[in-house]
Structure 1
Amino acid sequence: MTLLSMYFLAGVLAVSALAVDFAYLLSARNQLQVAADAAAHAALYYREQHDAEDAKVKAVAIANHSMPEDSYGAVLRAEDIEFGHWDYDSQTFTVDDFSKDAVRVRPGRTETRGNPVAAHLFAILNKPMWDMTAQAVFVVFDPHCLREGFVGDKVVDIQSNNGYEKGFCVHSNQYVSVNSNNTFEAGTVVSMPDSDEIELPRSGFESNAGLQAALRNGYYRLRILNQMDRIYEDLYWASGDFLPDYIASAVPITVSQKKLTNADLIPERVHRVNCGGQALQIEAGTLLHRVVVVTDCAIRFGAGVILDEAVIITQSTDAKSINSASDLQIGRDDACADGGGAQIITYGGLEVPAALKFFGGQVIAKGNVSFSADAGGIEGASVIAGGTISGTSNMTMGYCGTGMDDNFTVPYFRLAF
């Protein structure tokens, strides 16, 4: 019995030892995968504003931080990093050295690299060294809510008697406040970090059809707000990634008038206006078509101003740096066709007290946004605010899904594979 017990003990110890070795190999594999994920994210993030080679250097540095070369060897090399395109349907990666859309990272610990994983007790089975590789694919994407909808870093108040069509999004990084008698079609999104924090009237979900099904938990880092200086510089100098395609000249025009009409604006040109602390008036009925206006002024729009393939950007930090009489139209009323979009960007806030219309239009504000929209005047709208958003009543929030390609966007990143 003693001899038999010794055999059993030896067997149990051998199996236990092999289990420990196997757990060690799994841990090494997980460590390599974490390094791959971190390096891939770093490569694509850095690629946004740098060339591919610099992005690869950054990714290798991140991998070496996770798995120092002195301890693990050259886990990731520049040749292990490829930029390209990812196809979700076929789950395939196509290499394109000029792409900023996706990156594939394939680190390894292998005999050919000189850094295989040592498994001591597996030496009994004549397998003392193990090759391990990992792969991570990161892609850029445009979050649905930031493409079309209302997104505020603080409270978003959407008031009452509105209809929200399928696809429209309302998001707050604090909470959403909803009044009564709103209707949310299936496919509408209302999100905030904790959907239980939604502010409702006493009638709750009963007076807001479809709201409960639309609720989601989520948080967006509003990266576009951190890029406003870069957008301003590109538009001011009439060059760079954020300059609209319809601007044909790299020579900006300096405008001295503090009141602008159609006659003061030359199509396909950037116009700089310095107000010296005064306000800039865009006269009633002015059509801003294929122009960019860059200023530090607070801007006052007269009634009936239309922005059609136009950008207005101001560095004014006033709470009402953008203010308008009735019937301000942002974008071309073209049934969500491509082109015709328009954008208003302000370092302050925006207030339009009556009949704001969106047709493939975008507002980006570091401050608060307050507006009352035309009852038939939203068909493709993107409002992004660093403060609160106070909406309107008695209208339908239409969703396009198309015709929003002129919007200013910055990439977000996610793991695809």
Structure 2
Amino acid sequence: MNIISPALKTRQAVSRFLKNESGSMTMLSVVGIVGCCMVAGLAIDASNLYRQKEHLILAADSASKAGIVALSSNKSTFEVQTAALASAEQNIPASMFGKTSNGVQDIQLVRFDPSSRTVVSGTPNAVKVTLHRNASVENPVKTTLLRMVGISEFDFSVTSVAYYGQPGRCTSSDGIYAKGQVTLTSGNRIGESYCVHSQTAVWLPQQNTFDAGSGVSMPNLEMCKGKCVESANLGIEKAVFTMNLSLPKVADHIDKVTAAMLSTASDLKREVFANKPLASNLTPLSDAKILSVSATKNLVKGSVVSLTPAQYNDLMFNTSGNIPSGLVYNVDCRDRGNGPATSISIGGTKNRKNSVEDSSTIETIRHVVLITNCGFDVGANARIDNSLLVSTRISSSSVINADEGSVIGDPLKNCDINRKVYIMTMSGVSVNSNFTASNVALIVNGNINVAATSNSSKVEHNGTSMHAEGSIQIPSSHIFNSCAEDPSGLLPGMKTFKYVIPKS
């Protein structure tokens, strides 16, 4: 009996296999199957990867938009992050797709600079959302057939940045916006980052200048009537663009602001009074018989003081216009009918019973909110600084009468946001050229007409904004320069939401 060892049996089997040519097809089949798996894996797994990535991108975009909507509504950082995460979960639920974020650390509030297209330091105006399908969340995208060639999973992350900024090419909150026609007569200059927009037409007869980075927009450039060319207005061809902008109703905005200021407390009111200190001496209120001495002790910053025009006159006279700061003054002149006496004055003795006041006395309204259903007479000796003035009076004529010499905002014409003055009216206004010179926002439920200068010199406006439900008329020889972004919440919601890709 011949006994064959196991080792010998194995060698003989291998030898027979190698000599048997019929096995060559088997080897080719194995190679073919592996190749087919690779091709099929590329098709199936790559398709799945694309689909999963698209889900993540859409979820990130939705999350960043939810975050920027919350940020634009002055929500806290945590509220913004919570809103973004809730949106991400709604669009790519963990129950179906697994974990895709590391919580609030993947929701960043940043500041995006549209001019450099980079993330910079400063007050946040953008929300950056990052979502993952990778090891950081222990949830990579698994493969199927590609596992056979050693590829078991895909790792990736996506980022979306939503920005809350000025429409079009504008990078400043300063600008001229109207639903009716905007007319820039001639010889005006629009500075960098300053924008002019009309939902009807911007009429530019000739010889206006637009600096690099400025903007002019309207829904239909045919309404420019051949004047949007360099030969008519220097720099216009690079500045002009088409935009159909949904302008908010000015009346609704004024109603919202008025309600907030007259309320006991609101987010907007707290924001407005953040830089308005409460006066240490409140006795002028009791001296004018507006409040009792004991009542003045209960006043806090932002308290509403209701008074008649007569009481207002006495208060202005007793303090030379320096009425106690940090308060909301609500002046009711309904009992004065519809005659010429339906106004209150600043910087003059017009409509005052105290006509003995020295005509040279400078009256300064500072750090206050003044709400009235009267009009405003602003005399040559008026100074208005870091204040909000609202007139809810409905009139066919201008509810502001301003004399030459009045100073509104920063007299040095600097870009000091802490000295900005906001004037809101429910009717149209006609003002002199210096009235809007610096750090002033006119928000008007009607037309805005700026008078021509009394001499040939140019009037420079720094940080001046105009928002009109109607038309805006600007005469010749004005220069409009932008200042830093206005975070007050007192300007109508002109900003738009955009998705941006910052440079690394």
Measured against the shorter chain, the TM-score band is 0.7 to 0.9
The change in CA–CA distance for 1:183 and 1:82 in structure 2 (over 3 A counts) is: same
Contact 2:273 2:326 in 1 (8 A): no
* 1:252 counterpart = 2:304: yes
Q: Does the CA contact (< 8 Å) of 1:80 and 1:105 recur in 2? A: no
| Equivalent-residue separation in structure 2 for 1:203 and 1:62 (angstroms) | 44
Match of 1:323 in 2: 400
Structure 1 residue 297 and structure 2 residue 373: aligned? yes
Separation in 2, partners of 1:210, 1:112: 51
Amino acid at match of 1:333: P
Q: Tell me, what secondary structure is at the counterpart of 1:74?
A: coil
How big is the shift at 1:253? 2.7
- Contact kept, 8 Å, 1:341 with 1:403, in 2: the verdict is no
CA distance in 2: counterparts of 1:194 and 1:317, whole angstroms: 30
Task: Pick the structure with greater CA Rg.
Answer: 2
- For 1:50-199, list aligned pairs within 5 A: 50-76=75-101, 78-86=103-111, 101-110=125-134, 113=137, 115-138=139-162, 140-141=164-165, 144=170, 147-152=173-178, 154-167=179-192, 169-187=194-212, 189-194=214-219, 196-199=221-224
Give the equivalent residue in structure 1 for 2:339: none
Aligned partner of 2:477 in structure 1 is 395
Higher mean alpha-carbon deviation, 4-13 vs 261-270, is at 4-13
Residue in 2 that maps onto 1:22: 46
Secondary structure of 1:182's aligned partner? coil
Determine the C-alpha separation between the residues in 1 that align with 2:306 and 2:371: 10
Which residue of 2 is the match for residue 307 of structure 1?
Answer: 384
Partner of 1:46: 70
Answer yes or no: is 1:372 the counterpart of 2:451: yes
- The number of residue pairs the alignment matches comes to 410
Shift of 1:24: 2.7
Contact 2:230 2:237 in 1 (8 A): yes
Could you say which structure has the higher helix fraction?
Answer: 2
What is the distance in 2 between the residues matched to 1:92 and 1:281? 47
Structure 1 unaligned blocks of 5 or more: none
Measured in 1, the distance between the counterparts of 2:34 and 2:258 equals 73
Q: Deviations over 1:156-190 (max 9, x none)?
A: 42242232143263432524322422321432634
TM-score by length of 1: 0.79
Cα deviation for residue 150 of structure 1 reads: 0.8
Cα separation, 2, equivalents of 1:317 and 1:408: 21
Deviation at 1:355, TM superposition (A): 3.8
Alpha-carbon distance, 1:28 to partner: 1.7
Moved more, 18-27 or 279-288: 279-288
- How far apart in 2 are the matches of 1:355 and 1:111? 63
TM-score between both structures, scaled by the size of structure 2 = 0.67
Change (3 A) 1:108 1:277: farther
Q: Give the counterpart letter for 2:173 in structure 1.
A: R
1:360 maps to which of 439, 452, 465: 439
Q: CA RMSD in A?
A: 4.1
CA distance in 2, matches of 1:93, 1:157: 34
Give % identity: 15
Q: Find the counterpart in structure 1 of residue 422 from structure 2.
A: 343
Q: 2: distance between equivalents of 1:66 and 1:90?
A: 28
Task: Return the alpha-carbon distance in structure 2 between the equivalents of residues 204 and 130 of structure 1.
Answer: 54
Moved more, 198-207 or 267-276: 198-207
